[in-house]
């Protein structure tokens, strides 16, 4: 059901030699062959709101398949597939080009053009075979048996595919121009293509939801650049991060990140002003609490609207009752949302699953950070009751045994065994490789709870409630003291990843300890040892910090969470290293991740294998890694932010900035930083830096890092 992001098993037909093409627009995405065909025996399809609306989409001309030439992706939601028809026997060259222009968005539109480069008219039979199985994502990934076939009917030159009855009825309509004949799931056109001329037909796949046909966001006859998705992307590019640097690799990585993050945004039709970022393509184009919150945190300096939209969306679905099937509890922030049949299969018929130990604290953390960056008082005030309910969950349901720590233990046999970010079944283990048993109190979850208490104290101080501010600061101080007493392993020099059901420290050396630096829960006298271990040969691969040290019993560089390298994890570790003053170490992590990105076409995947850089000259891909993926795409921006050491506190009228940018990236200009209503730029060159664009906000610029509050 709500299994970890990658099971470790490749879906049928997907592997290193297969390069499927994925187009994304909101919660709609399409996966196809490089030539454009959607094959029924592959994990392909057009997916709308977690349901596969098209399971087959195969094109032939005169009974033969076009030979793929190339593919151009002009936008995340659009691609052009070029193919040629095989030349006649005895002829060296083809004279018939096939151009397929595809656009996705609440359905799909495809413009198919036959171009005749010869001196003679060509008669062509163009055929398009379509099928729909209305399977959900988990069925497509091979985790369940496929459902029975849908029924196909021809209605007024339109192909109609249906499944189910009544409220469970689902429908897809294939609508085409140029008067095709329709029979047995195939649309057929008989076309005459003039010499040196072309013919184009347009086909639309329209999903029907509750009896109402969903409106395509790329209607025929309308220029793609004028559609809503195109306008949204243009606005995103204009308002997003703008970086100029002499290092072409950094520039390319940041550019790719900005594009991917723009494509991964989804919008609720009922609340179009509440944008959120979907977790990752292709299988996780949905709202995930932890992932969306951390991605919004990393993007906050450039897009505070995304952070606010994420908070508002999650607040609207905040837990209100005790429900064992979904693990919902009052005040709890959800783990994931699914739609349609995917909800029935993955979430026991519910649209949301709440099995996350950390999303609730991250919610409060992000609200506090939005306030620091000058978020509107009214919007923040409206979310304070949600923050208080979240904190109540942390102190009651989250700490069910009253020992002062937040633990997790799944309430249903279908739920996640592990409910931190390392959510694979074997993701939490002892140094000898033994799997830890729940209830488990994770180190980073306590770190997030500590930061949530501090954030609530800050929010209270902003409203003049000093009594509440003092109380929350006291809670944070108590948790920090208790954490450093119980989680620190003095004989090893690192923090335990967690406490198991018997309150024993789970003593594996993991990257989770870097998150303890990020939030500031680590005692200052322990930070040096943590930093040394993070950058040791056992942990640092040369391409980044591993999730688990190579000296641990469960280490496997090809595993999902036990030795792999995750870009977002490294970004948070680097932020923690910088917070405690380990500048050179943070710079090394940044350089390693940027170097790794170059080998992935400048698009960082969700994770990659943890083999040492000295052994292989390029990072080894993890086969089922999501790409693009939200927090991986956001990681370079977080790394850049850490190097800038740029931190405002609008309510106190102060802005700290003390850049520590490696020379390889200089000169560097970062613009579009949004503090309150201002758009700020930082220019760095030759050991000098300056800030511009502070008007209309008046802030005192302090040339040092923001006090880390770590004593």
Predicted confidence (pLDDT) at residue 711 exceeds the cutoff of 60: no
Alpha helix locations (H) across 186-302?
228-239, 248-264, 289-299
Q: Which residue do the tokens 């200052």 mark?
A: 524
* Rounded distance between C-alpha atoms, residue 437 and residue 508, angstroms: 14
Compute the half-sphere exposure of residue 649: CA atoms within 13 Å on the CB side of its CA: 14
Q: Note whether residue 244 is domain-resident.
A: no
Q: Note whether residue 516 is domain-resident.
A: yes
Q: For residue 590, give the nearest of 632, 639, 531 by alpha carbon.
A: 639
- Domain identity same for 285 and 217: no
Going by the DSSP 8-state scheme, the letter that residue 147 receives in this structure is P
Q: 84: which 2 tokens?
A: 């040629």
Q: Note whether residue 66 is domain-resident.
A: yes
Q: Which of 186-195, 220-229, 531-540 has the lowest mean pLDDT?
A: 220-229
Predicted confidence (pLDDT) at residue 156 exceeds the cutoff of 80: no
Q: Which of 134-143, 482-491, 554-563, 588-597 has the lowest mean pLDDT?
A: 134-143
Q: Note whether residue 695 is domain-resident.
A: no
Highest mean pLDDT among 154-168, 646-660, 697-711: 646-660
* Rounded distance between C-alpha atoms, residue 119 and residue 613, angstroms: 57
Q: What is the pLDDT of residue 663?
A: 95
In the structure, what pLDDT confidence band is assigned to residue 377 with cuts at 50, 70 and 90? very high
- Domain identity same for 224 and 300: no
Do 495 and 433 meet the contact criterion of CB atoms below 8 Å apart?
Answer: no
Report residue 504: phi and psi, to 5°: -85, 135
Going by the DSSP 8-state scheme, the letter that residue 628 receives in this structure is S
Collect all residues with Cβ–Cβ distance below 8 Å to 455 and sequence separation of at least 6.
364, 365, 367, 368, 369
In the structure, what pLDDT confidence band is assigned to residue 14 with cuts at 50, 70 and 90? very low
Last residue of a domain, which of 652, 668, 703? 652
Predicted confidence (pLDDT) at residue 376 exceeds the cutoff of 50: yes
What is residue 336's three-state secondary structure? strand
Q: What is the pLDDT of residue 7?
A: 34
Q: ∠349-355-357 over CA atoms, to 5°?
A: 165
What CATH number did the domain enclosing 524 receive? Answer: 1.50.10.10
In the structure, what pLDDT confidence band is assigned to residue 494 with cuts at 50, 70 and 90? very high
pLDDT tens digits, one per residue of 645-669:
999 999 999 999 999 999 999 999 9
Predicted confidence (pLDDT) at residue 702 exceeds the cutoff of 80: yes
Predicted confidence (pLDDT) at residue 370 exceeds the cutoff of 60: yes
| Total count of domains within the chain | 2
Distance, C-alpha 667 to centroid of its chain? 30
DSSP annotation string for 212-242: EEPPPSS-TTS-GGGSHHHHHHHHHHHHS-E
In the structure, what pLDDT confidence band is assigned to residue 210 with cuts at 50, 70 and 90? low
In the structure, what pLDDT confidence band is assigned to residue 281 with cuts at 50, 70 and 90? confident
pLDDT tens digits, one per residue of 452-489:
999 999 999 999 999 999 999 999 999 999 999 999 99
- Domain identity same for 185 and 305: no
For range 412-428, the mean pLDDT: 95
Q: What is the pLDDT of residue 12?
A: 41
In the structure, what pLDDT confidence band is assigned to residue 348 with cuts at 50, 70 and 90? low
Predicted confidence (pLDDT) at residue 8 exceeds the cutoff of 50: no
Q: In the chain, what percentage of residues exceed pLDDT 70?
A: 91
Q: What is the pLDDT of residue 50?
A: 83
Last residue of a domain, which of 652, 684, 704? 652
Q: Which of 16-25, 90-99, 308-317, 425-434 has the lowest mean pLDDT?
A: 16-25
Highest mean pLDDT among 174-178, 331-335, 686-690: 331-335
- Domain identity same for 268 and 215: no
Compute the half-sphere exposure of residue 199: CA atoms within 13 Å on the CB side of its CA: 18
In the structure, what pLDDT confidence band is assigned to residue 340 with cuts at 50, 70 and 90? low
Q: What is the pLDDT of residue 349?
A: 58
Q: Which residue do the tokens 């690799």 mark?
A: 249
Average pLDDT value for the chain: 90
| Neighbouring-strand partners of residue 101 | 80, 111
- Domain identity same for 462 and 394: yes
Q: What is the pLDDT of residue 365?
A: 98
Distance, C-alpha 551 to centroid of its chain? 30
Q: Note whether residue 13 is domain-resident.
A: no
| Domain containing residue 115 | 21-229
The 10 Å CB-count burial string (b at 16+, else e) for 396-431 is ebbbeeeebbbbbebbbebbbbbbbbbbbebbbbbb
pLDDT tens digits, one per residue of 426-447:
999 999 999 999 999 999 999 9
Predicted confidence (pLDDT) at residue 394 exceeds the cutoff of 50: yes
- Run of H or E including 153: strand 151-155
For range 317-333, the mean pLDDT: 97
- Domain identity same for 278 and 146: no
- Domain identity same for 554 and 462: yes
In whole angstroms, how far apart are CA 698 and each of 375, 646, 680, 702?
15, 16, 12, 13
Q: What is the pLDDT of residue 631?
A: 96
Predicted confidence (pLDDT) at residue 339 exceeds the cutoff of 60: yes
What CATH number did the domain enclosing 146 receive? Answer: 2.70.98.40
For range 156-174, the mean pLDDT: 81
* Rounded distance between C-alpha atoms, residue 610 and residue 623, angstroms: 13
Q: Note whether residue 146 is domain-resident.
A: yes
10 vs 458, residue with greater confidence? 458
Exposed/middle/buried for 538, CB within 10 Å: 0-12, 13-18, 19+? middle
Q: What is the pLDDT of residue 291?
A: 97
- Domain identity same for 309 and 191: no
pLDDT tens digits, one per residue of 598-608:
999 999 999 99
Predicted confidence (pLDDT) at residue 498 exceeds the cutoff of 70: yes
- Domain identity same for 463 and 577: yes
Do 553 and 514 meet the contact criterion of CB atoms below 8 Å apart?
Answer: no
Highest mean pLDDT among 340-344, 619-623, 697-701: 619-623
Q: In the chain, what percentage of residues exceed pLDDT 90?
A: 75
Do 195 and 95 meet the contact criterion of CB atoms below 8 Å apart?
Answer: no
Last residue of a domain, which of 609, 629, 652? 652
Q: Note whether residue 621 is domain-resident.
A: yes
Exposed/middle/buried for 136, CB within 10 Å: 0-12, 13-18, 19+? buried
- Domain identity same for 218 and 336: no
* Rounded distance between C-alpha atoms, residue 424 and residue 418, angstroms: 6
Predicted confidence (pLDDT) at residue 155 exceeds the cutoff of 90: no
Predicted confidence (pLDDT) at residue 3 exceeds the cutoff of 50: no
- Residues recorded for the chain: 711
- Domain identity same for 480 and 617: yes
- Domain identity same for 539 and 613: yes
Q: For residue 138, give the nearest of 43, 71, 210 by alpha carbon.
A: 43
Q: What is the pLDDT of residue 230?
A: 82
Q: Note whether residue 689 is domain-resident.
A: no
Q: What is the pLDDT of residue 285?
A: 84
Do 600 and 621 meet the contact criterion of CB atoms below 8 Å apart?
Answer: yes
């Amino acid at each position: 059901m709500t299994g970890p992001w990658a099971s470790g098993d490749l879906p049928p037909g997907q592997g290193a030699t297969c390069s499927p093409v994925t187009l994304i627009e909101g919660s709609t995405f399409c996966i196809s062959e490089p030539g454009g065909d959607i094959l029924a025996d592959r994990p392909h399809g057009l997916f709308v709101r977690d349901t596969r609306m098209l399971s087959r989409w195969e094109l032939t001309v005169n009974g033969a398949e076009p030979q793929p030439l190339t593919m151009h992706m002009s936008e995340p939601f659009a691609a052009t597939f070029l193919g040629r028809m095989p030349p006649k026997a005895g002829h060296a060259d083809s004279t018939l080009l096939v151009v397929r222009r595809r656009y996705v968005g609440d359905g799909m539109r495809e413009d198919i053009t036959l171009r005749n480069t010869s001196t003679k008219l060509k008669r062509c039979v163009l055929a398009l075979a379509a099928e729909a199985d209305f399977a959900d994502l988990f069925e497509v990934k091979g985790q369940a048996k496929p459902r029975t076939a849908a029924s196909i009917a021809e209605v007024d030159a339109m192909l109609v595919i249906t499944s189910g009855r009544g409220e469970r009825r689902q429908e897809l309509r294939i609508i085409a121009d140029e008067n095709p004949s329709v029979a047995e799931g195939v649309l057929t056109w008989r076309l005459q293509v003039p010499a040196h001329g072309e013919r184009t037909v347009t086909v639309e796949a329209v999903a029907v939801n509750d009896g109402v046909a969903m409106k395509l966001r790329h209607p025929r006859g309308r220029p793609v650049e004028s559609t809503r998705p195109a306008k949204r992307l243009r606005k995103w590019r204009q308002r997003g991060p703008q970086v100029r640097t002499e290092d072409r690799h950094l520039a390319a990585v940041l550019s790719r990140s900005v594009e991917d993050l723009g494509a991964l945004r989804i919008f609720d039709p009922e609340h179009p002003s509440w944008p959120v970022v979907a977790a990752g393509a292709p299988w996780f184009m949905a709202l995930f609490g932890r992932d969306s919150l951390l991605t919004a945190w990393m993007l906050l300096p450039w897009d505070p609207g995304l952070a606010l939209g994420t908070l508002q969306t999650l607040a609207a679905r905040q837990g209100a009752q005790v429900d064992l099937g979904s693990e919902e509890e009052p005040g709890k922030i959800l783990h994931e949302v699914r739609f349609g049949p995917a909800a029935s299969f993955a979430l026991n018929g519910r649209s949301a699953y709440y099995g996350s130990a950390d999303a609730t604290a991250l919610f409060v953390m992000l609200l506090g950070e939005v306030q620091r960056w000058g978020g509107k008082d009214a919007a923040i005030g409206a979310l304070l009751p949600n923050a208080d309910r979240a904190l109540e969950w942390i102190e009651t349901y989250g700490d069910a045994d009253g020992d002062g720590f937040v633990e997790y233990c799944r309430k249903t046999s279908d739920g996640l065994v592990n409910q931190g970010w390392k959510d694979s079944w074997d993701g939490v283990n002892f140094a000898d490789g033994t799997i830890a048993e729940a209830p488990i109190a994770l180190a980073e979850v306590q770190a997030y709870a500590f930061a949530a208490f501090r954030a609530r104290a800050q929010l209270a101080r902003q409203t003049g409630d000093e009594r509440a501010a003092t109380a929350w600061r006291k809670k944070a101080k108590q948790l920090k003291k208790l954490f450093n007493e119980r989680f620190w392993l003095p004989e090893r020099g690192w923090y335990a990843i967690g406490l198991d059901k018997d309150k024993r420290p789970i003593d594996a050396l993991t990257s989770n300890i870097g998150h303890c630096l990020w939030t500031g829960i680590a005692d200052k006298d322990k930070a040096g040892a943590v930093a040394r271990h993070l950058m040791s040969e056992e942990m640092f691969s040369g391409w980044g910090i591993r999730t688990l040290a190579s000296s641990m019993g469960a280490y496997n560089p090809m595993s999902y969470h036990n030795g792999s390298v995750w870009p977002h994890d490294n970004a948070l570790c680097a932020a923690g290293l910088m917070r405690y003053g380990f500048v050179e170490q943070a710079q090394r992590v940044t350089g390693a991740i940027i170097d790794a990105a170059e080998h992935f076409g400048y698009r960082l995947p969700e994770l990659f294998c943890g083999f040492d850089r000295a052994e292989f000259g390029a990072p080894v891909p993890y086969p089922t890694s999501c790409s693009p993926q939200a927090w991986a795409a956001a990681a370079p921006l977080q790394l850049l932010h850490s190097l800038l050491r740029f931190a405002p506190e609008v309510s106190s009228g102060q802005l700290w900035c003390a850049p520590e940018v490696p020379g390889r990236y200089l000169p560097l200009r970062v613009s579009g930083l949004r503090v309150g209503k201002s758009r700020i730029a930082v220019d760095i060159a030759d050991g000098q830096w300056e800030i511009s664009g502070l008007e209309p906000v008046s802030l005192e610029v302090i040339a040092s890092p923001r006090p880390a509050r770590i004593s």
